[in-house]
């Protein structure tokens, strides 16, 4: 049976599984483990199973694309390196308009797992 959109949204309390923004009912369903041809991986894991589906804002879903979660996490964590090449970004840092905070990326749904298992 196909999971309902409502049950997918409820998993993250109506928020984007990645950035945590409140979705207000407007969301896309993302596959945490990316889809492969025919909806199955080599080990027969069903990518359309409820446990693999999360509500995401359009921005996060589009940016994640079909990347595996750890690869996408690394892309976000290293984004500041690309931004440093832009003179406007460097100028904003110099004038204190932007402060870089280098830290590991923790997705919103991962914080939910920690609070429910405690």
- pTM value is 0.83
Residue 67 CA to residue 75 CA, distance in Å, equals: 10
The tally of domains found in the chain comes to: 1
Residue 61 CA to residue 59 CA, distance in Å, equals: 6
Residue numbers of the domain that contains 67: 5-117
Residue 3 CA to residue 26 CA, distance in Å, equals: 17
Is there a contact between 20 and 57 (Cβ–Cβ < 8 Å)?
no
Which residues in the chain land under pLDDT 50? 116-118
């Amino acid at each position: 049976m196909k999971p309902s959109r409502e049950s997918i949204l409820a998993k993250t309390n109506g928020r984007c599984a990645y950035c945590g923004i409140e979705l207000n009912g407007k969301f896309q369903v993302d596959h945490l483990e990316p889809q492969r041809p025919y909806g199955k991986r080599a080990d027969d894991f069903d990518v359309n199973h409820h446990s693999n589906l999360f509500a995401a804002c359009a921005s996060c879903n589009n940016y994640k694309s079909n990347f595996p979660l750890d690869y996408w996490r690394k892309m976000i964590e290293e984004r500041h390196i690309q931004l440093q090449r832009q003179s406007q970004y460097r100028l904003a840092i110099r004038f204190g308009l932007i402060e870089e905070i280098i830290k590991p990326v923790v997705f919103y749904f991962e914080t939910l797992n920690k609070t429910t298992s405690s």
